[in-house]
Amino acid sequence: METKTAGHPLPSLPLAGHPRPLGLPAFTTTVVSDNPETLVVGLTPVASEIMSLLPHPPNRALAGIIEATVHATRYVMTGVPALWALIEQAAGTIRKCGGKEHGAALDALLMYCEE
């Protein structure tokens, strides 16, 4: 079994307003099983560095889009009215807290639900 150490920035995508990652962990990796179809690797944290302690505000509109999308996929498959009520509730938060791109995403999601 081969063991390697690698550092990967977290989060992997930069957060809005943050030019660099918030932390940098390092892991020891161990190949647990390796066959032609899958590779299973175990990760063991060995070190980390906190690069910023500044809090970042949650993006309620983005969270609403994600929540509404989960409900929409279930609603389209089942047609359960309670799921539509949850979509409408999330839509209110998106309209209140979001920008143009969030509104466009909501419109696309609602069109998907009506098809």
Alpha helices per DSSP H over 1-115: 60-78, 81-97, 100-114
Spatial separation of the C-alpha atoms in residues 112 and 103, rounded to whole Å: 14
Domain ranges of the chain: 3-50, 60-114
Q: pTM (2 decimals)? A: 0.55
CB 102 within 8 A of CB 69: no
| Domain 60-114, CATH among 1.20.58, 1.10.8, 2.40.50, 3.40.50 | 1.20.58
Instruction: List, in order, residues 6 or more apart from 39 with CB less than 8 Å away.
Output: 31, 33
The pLDDT of residue 15 = 45
pLDDT tens string, the chain, 115 residues long: the values are 333 344 444 444 444 444 555 566 788 888 888 888 888 888 888 877 776 667 777 899 999 999 999 999 999 999 999 999 999 999 999 999 999 999 999 999 999 999 8
* Residue matched to tokens 């389209």: 76
The pLDDT of residue 91 = 97
